[in-house]
Chains A and B, each alone.
Chain A
Amino acid sequence: MTFLEHRRKLQTSRPARYEAMCEIRAFEDRAQALFFEGLVHGTTHTSQGQEAVSVGMAVAARPTDWVTCTYRGHGHALALGMDPSVVMGEIMGKRIGSVGGVGGSMHLCEVSVGLLPTFAIVGAGIPVAAGAALTSQVRGTDDAAIALFGDGAANIGAFHEGLNLAAIWKLPVVFICENNHYGEYSRIDLTTPVEDIAVRAVSYDMPGHVVDGQDVDAVSEAVGAALARARAGEGPTLLEMKTYRYAGHSRADPGAYRPEGELERWKERDPIAIYRTRLIEEGELTPEEAGDIEDRAARRIVEAEETAAGSEDATVADMFRYIYAP
């Protein structure tokens, strides 16, 4: 399946959205295991629990829109249509990886699906998305840009400067804050005086909405409406997706700072389980079909891992490429 077929399917088929979320979950579980097993070097940041945001965003975005996101970017990359073996390959330092294996887990990029290099510096992608939106404004196209970032990023200068600039220039950009309630090890209430990041939109005179980030339909609808507003020249929107990350912040973090029972409560609102129930209730899937989808997604990740593992390592010569543009 080409990435365009993947995106078309996401737009037209709800079971395809279910499958995309299952694929991300399977990928992240495997990525985490690879690090725990010591099979790959460095660190990784996984997004189990946040799949509905990635997929809902990809449903709403056009293939020609630009997206910036963070080191927690595997899910967004997959939802946008990157091949899982390319993402896995990057994590493993393989030449088939999206940056040729010299970037690692935090550094994905695929211009064909609209993904700018993922940002490992908190907040950095926010003004960059505003700049991508500036390109469409100057060129007179109706493409838009999307910035995805965390709740912690809402306290860094780049967030405030980026939103202000986008507002006064009426840039076609949608700011999506994935509020998973933690920075690294600090709960949001220890670092942020407001409960809803969305209220910060008021300072920049743009609409701000709180969205259920565990509901893929709610996400795609909210992002779709904000993108429509952006394309119509009405300026940026701040969307806050309430969500939760099941894993620790990164490989090294067991998440011991979380109050007892919190993770379990959030798992009761698992985005994949919610959607499975809904699609079955609404007659779009049978339990058997859902099972087939889960198996297919899991198999694809196993295959992707095999493909990546069996492929060539990045070489010393690869380190020297692309330092300067010709």
Chain B
Amino acid sequence: MNQAIAAALADEMHGDPDVIMFGEDIAAAEGPFKTSAGLLKSFGPLRVRDTPISEMGFLGAAVGAAATGLRPVIEIMFIEFIGVALDQLVTEAAKFHYLSRGTITVPLTVRGSVGAGLGFGCQHSQTLETWMYGNPGLKLAVASGPASAYGLLRSAIRDNNPVVMLEPRVLYARRAQMETGEDAVIPLGKAAVAREGADVTLVALGAMVPNALAAAEGAPWSAEVIDLQTLVPYDKEALLESVAKTKRLVTVEENPLTGGWGSEITSFVAGEMFGELEAPPIRVTCPDIHVPFGKELEQRYLPNPGYIAEQVGALLETGRRPPHWWEAYR
């Protein structure tokens, strides 16, 4: 997936001289996750820059550059580090268009790595969509593999709004055969049906898409798996269409239960289709705890394919919400 990201960046930089990028160790070192391989060489130090460890400074500078004509892409090495710069994104960038009566646009892309699975401990393993998804003016997309990383990133860069693009760290090393070029661009706001099915709709984001697909593979029931791709704005039609067919909805989320993005999705679908559902919408999430260190604990923390399949199977069998695995530990 890291090569797909570098390719998307290169393709947009070729197509538009206003696209510039900066971040910590992205130029000379080509990115801590090797997501900018070859870019300094191809586009030079005016357009591809290393920054000091100054997230507030460089995110703010990207807002300024975006508001005055450039199309910057910045990298937040681990999404946690955006904590020190959130003002610039949420309270400045997302509101400039509104506060200029539409005279200013902020075509800014903020890329950040997210998620658990690599043993980085609780300050380097969160997904943090919840920090960013309740903000009008800000769009939010999440990559689920090489093709979606490529296609979504190109759209994010072209979009005239600030867009946050989250990249699951566990997927950087994933490889897949994929197309590049115009046909591979994925519009923001559109979900993808990753697998068709009849009995239940599994809605997932990011690293949970492969997990939901793995859970659906070989299960005795037939699941439709939707890769939401863009969380803000999310694809309401795709959700309603799928659930109209399956009558059951399960979100698969890599975040703590409380406040996770699935609460918005399930509440929306339940509100629209209450009478048509054959089971309560359920959410398969992580518990309300910090991401633990240690391989086994971390894998237990995450919704793995086996657990997803268990939850979905129980829902289909009983028509009720099955208990979360962690209820025994409360």
Asked if chains A and B come from one complex, the reply is yes
A217 contacts the other chain (CB 8 A): no
Residues of B within 8 Å of A123, CB to CB, are 53, 84
Contact A186 B57 (CB under 8 A): no
Task: Give chain A residues whose Cβ lies under 8 Å from the Cβ of B295.
Answer: 41, 93
Find chain B residues with CB under 8 A from A153 CB.
Answer: 53
Q: Is A107 among interface residues, defined by CB-CB distance under 8 A?
A: yes
B300 pairs with A316, CB closer than 8 A? yes
Nearest A residue to B294 via CB reads: A93
| Chain B 27-80 interface residues, beta-carbon cutoff 8 Å to A | 28-29, 32, 50-57, 80
Q: Decide: A184 and B32 in contact? CB cutoff 8 A.
A: yes
Query: Is B234 interfacial (CB 8 A cutoff)?
Result: no
Whether A323 pairs with B54 at a CB distance below 8 angstroms is no
How far, in whole Å, are A157 and B52 apart by their CA atoms in the complex? 11
Q: Which of A89-135 contact B (CB under 8 A)?
A: 93, 101-107, 119-123
A168 on the interface (CB 8 Å rule)? Answer: no
The distance from the CB of B211 to the nearest CB of chain A, in whole angstroms, is 19
- Chain A residues with Cβ below 8 Å from B53 are 122-123, 152-153, 155-156, 183, 191
The verdict on A101 contacting B293 (CB below 8 Å), with A155-B53, A185-B25, A316-B300 known, is yes
* Chain B 273-308 near chain A by CB (<8 Å), digits 1 or 0: 000000000000001111011111110110000000
Query: B50 to A190, Cβ gap below 8 A?
Result: yes
Are A43 and B84 touching (Cβ within 8 A)? no
Q: Mark B225-248, 1 if CB is under 8 A from A, else 0.
A: 000000000000000000000000
Q: A107 vs B122: C-alpha distance in the bound complex, in angstroms? A: 9
**Cβ < 8 Å to B, chain A residues 151-203:** 152-153, 155-158, 183-186, 190-192
Partner of A184, one of B25, B119, B330: B25
| Closest A residue to B329 using CB positions | A320
Chain A residue contacts of B123, Cβ below 8 A: 106-107, 119-121
Counting CB contacts under 8 A, is B124 at the interface? Answer: yes
Bitwise, B176-202 to A at CB < 8 A (1) or not (0) is 000000000000000000000000000
- Is B28 within 8 A of A257, CB to CB? yes
Q: Any chain B CB within 8 A of the CB of A314?
A: yes
CB distance from A275 to the nearest CB of B (A): 31
Which of A104, A106, A157, A190 has a CB less than 8 Å from the CB of B54?
A157
> Are A41 and B119 CB-contacts (below 8 A) given A102-B292, A106-B124, A153-B53?
yes
Q: With a CB–CB cut-off of 8 A, which chain B residues contact A120?
A: 121, 123-124
Mark contacts of B82-104 with chain A using CB atoms, 8 A cut-off: 1 yes-contact digit, 0 otherwise. Answer: 01100000000000000000000
| Chain A residues, CB < 8 A from B219 | none
Q: Are B121 and A323 in contact (CB under 8 A)?
A: no
Complex-state Cα separation, A318 to B301, whole angstroms: 12
> Chain A CB within 10 Å — which of B53, B56, B119, B295 has the most?
B53
**A320's closest neighbor in chain B, by CB?**
B329
Q: Is the CB of A191 within 8 A of B52?
A: yes
- A319 close to B (CB within 8 Å): yes
> B268 at interface (Cβ–Cβ under 8 A)?
no
Q: A93-B294, A313-B294 are in contact. Are A320 and B289 (CB under 8 A)?
A: yes
Tally of chain A residues near chain B (CB < 8 A):
39
Q: Is B118 an interface residue (CB 8 A)?
A: yes
Which B residues are in CB contact (< 8 Å) with A190? Answer: 28, 50
Task: Report if B326 contacts A (CB, 8 A).
Answer: yes
A103 and B293: CB pair below 8 A?
A: yes
Chain B residues, Cβ within 8 Å of A314: 292-294, 297
Least CB distance, B200 to chain A, in whole angstroms:
28
Tell me which of B56, B81, B121, B330 contacts A104 (CB under 8 A): B121
Which residues of B sit under 8 angstroms from A291, Cβ to Cβ?
A: none
The residue of chain B having its C-beta at the shortest distance from the C-beta of A107 within the complex is: B121
Q: How far is the CA of A156 from the CA of B57 in the complex (A)?
A: 8
B residues within 8 A CB of A316? 297, 300, 329
Residues on B with C-beta less than 8 A from A287 are none
| B57 A157 Cβ-Cβ under 8 A | yes
Q: Is there contact, CB below 8 Å, between A319 and B120? A: no
Residues of chain A within 8 A (CB-CB) of B294 are: 41, 93, 101-102, 104, 313-314
**Chain B residues in 8 Å Cβ range of A192:** 52
Q: Of B55, B298, B301, which contacts A156 at CB under 8 A? A: B55
Q: Are B288 and A323 in contact (CB under 8 A)?
A: yes
Contact B293 A186 (CB under 8 A): no
Residues of A within 8 A of B120 (CB): 42-43, 104, 106
- Please state if A184 and B24 are interface contacts (CB–CB under 8 Å): yes
B29–A41 touching, CB < 8 Å = no
Contacts of A104 in B (CB 8 A): 119-121, 293-294
Chain A residues near B124 (CB-CB < 8 A): 106, 120
Contact partners of A43 in chain B: CB under 8 A: 118-120
A317 at the interface (CB under 8 A from B): yes
Chain B contacts for A106, CB-based, 8 A? 120-121, 123-124
Shortest B277–chain A CB gap in Å is 32
Q: Chain A residues near B119 (CB, 8 Å)?
A: 41-43, 104
Q: Tell me whether A42 and B287 are in contact in the complex, defined as CB-CB below 8 angstroms, given that A185-B28, A186-B28, A320-B326 are known contacts.
A: no
* A319 to B328 alpha-carbon distance, docked (Å): 13
B301 and A319 form a contact (CB under 8 A): yes
Given contacts A316-B300, A319-B300, 18 further A-B contacts (CB under 8 A): A41-B298, A93-B295, A102-B293, A102-B297, A103-B122, A104-B294, A120-B123, A120-B124, A121-B80, A121-B81, A156-B84, A157-B84, A158-B84, A185-B28, A185-B32, A317-B329, A319-B289, A319-B290
Closest 4 CB pairs of A and B: A42-B119, A104-B293, A93-B294, A41-B119
- 11 residue pairs of the A-B complex, CB under 8 angstroms, read A102-B122, A106-B121, A155-B52, A155-B57, A156-B52, A156-B53, A156-B54, A157-B56, A183-B53, A186-B25, A186-B29
